[in-house]
Amino acid sequence: MSPTPITEIPTLVQQVRDGFTDGLLRTRERRETQLRALRRFLVDHEDELVDALRSDLGKPPIEAYTTEIGFTIGEIDHTLDHLEEWMAPQKVKVPLTLRPGSARIEPQPLGTALVIAPWNYPLQLVLAPLVAAVSAGNTVVLKPSEVAPATAALLHQRLRDFVDPRIVAVVTGGVAETTALLEERFDHVFYTGNGNVGRVVMRAAAEHLTPVTLELGGKSPAIVTAPTDVTVAARRIAWGKFVNAGQTCVAPDYVLVDRQLEDAFVAALGTAIVSSYGSDPAASPDYARIVNERHHDRLTALLDGDGYEAVAHGGQHDRSRRYIAPTVLRGVTPGATVMQEEIFGPILPVLAVDGPDAAIEFVNAREKPLALYAFTDDEGVQQRIVDRTSAGGITINHTLLHLAVNDLPFGGVGPSGMGAYHGKAGFDVFTHHKPVLTKRLKPDPALMYPPYGRWKQRVLRRAL
């Protein structure tokens, strides 16, 4: 698929901006029509989408459905169920001094948004922000990732048959095309990816004073501390880590485990991996692949780095098949090569610590993560971890699942991102909540107008 010619990008942006000006999404009914059309796209082209995701990332069909297609359908259905409520003006109490009068908050779309998506979930992470933007009444330019070319091509070729091209435009290509898009003026920019590109996006948006939502990554920790069921904790961490071959922004990046539990936990991880993917995960129909050779090389370089004692499980890799086995490292030091950057692959470092307070101290000494996972049956320790750490989101005694709750905002904090979406939070991020105060022309008491004699001053001071 050829990239969108750069000379055409201003025309495409103007096309969807005109769509907003013309009021194509002014009413709830028009927004719902486009959302239902998007849902039909996902249903009608499910097989093609599954094939594209397999081509790009080796995703198993059920994983492609649950984490991408079905996830997005669920987001659409939740939005359709609640859109009337979200769009309704909210009455606000008026102070006694301003009566008679009324006040309300009117949700209003920002205008035209740009959504720049990553490659790891190349369908969900382009369409879920689109659902939020359209629900709020915005027209949108989508930039799918060129690193997932099959999915990008399908979006470019098929989406226009369902969604009005004056409302949604798809621009394909790489850095040059993204740079050209960022030179255009948008009313909101929504970017999902890494922090380095996030800084580029934010600098470009600043030229137009455009607000941004940045969904970034980071090293998301899992804390395993007594009392806990080590077998269950290991199975749930292994699932969260190795889905999509570890290429998930909220995957557990490393584990901090009570020293007394380390041996049992590492053994349980190995058991969980074999139970899920067999003794040869390369032959498993349920295990994905690394997106390309460059990322394969980056990950194997981490394995070749120093700072860990042993590969407790896995370690095998095959560049020609973009395969890296689910891998567990033990005896990992804080200064290890694998601890210096977000892994974004199927390598799980395990670090032993002296209890939950040591784990909390370790987490707080580093940049704020996108997610944090805590495994313990001690409710006091659970709350201590919640209270004393900062992360974009937290799941207790499982992994990833906070994303599946429509009414929980999803987003980062600090270096892991700014802004949040999903459910109403997504509607809100693409909305200006416009305050409106209404007064009658009569009565019009002279009290508030100059000249301000002593009596007026006394009354006004007391009224405030």
Report d(CA 311, CA 348) in Å as an integer: 10
Q: What is the DSSP string of 174-221?
A: SHHHHHHHHHS--SEEEEES-HHHHHHHHHHHHTTT--EEEE-----E
Question: Side chain identity at 10, as an amino acid letter?
Answer: P
CB 247 within 8 A of CB 289: no
Q: Which of 143, 135, 177 is nearest to 159 (CA)?
A: 143
Tokens describing residue 392: 């974009």
Report d(CA 430, CA 340) in Å as an integer: 34
CB 430 within 8 A of CB 110: yes
**Catalytic residue check, 215:** yes
Per annotation, catalytic residue among 177, 215, 262, 342: 215
For the four alpha carbons of 156, 185, 179 and 214, in that order, the dihedral sign comes to negative
How buried is residue 441: exposed, middle or buried, by Cβ count under 10 Å (0-12/13-18/19+)? exposed
Per annotation, catalytic residue among 68, 177, 249, 262: 249
Q: Which of 250, 180, 241, 140 is nearest to 5 (CA)?
A: 180
Report d(CA 430, CA 211) in Å as an integer: 10
**Catalytic residue check, 293:** no
Those residues with Cβ within 8 angstroms of residue 186's Cβ, 6 or more apart along the chain or in another chain: 13, 111, 112, 113, 114, 141, 205, 208, 210
Contacts 24+ apart (CB under 8 A), 154-162: 154/45, 154/48, 154/49, 154/52, 155/123, 155/126, 156/1, 158/41, 158/45, 158/48, 159/38, 159/41, 161/41, 162/37, 162/38, 162/40, 162/41, 162/44
Active site residues: 215, 249
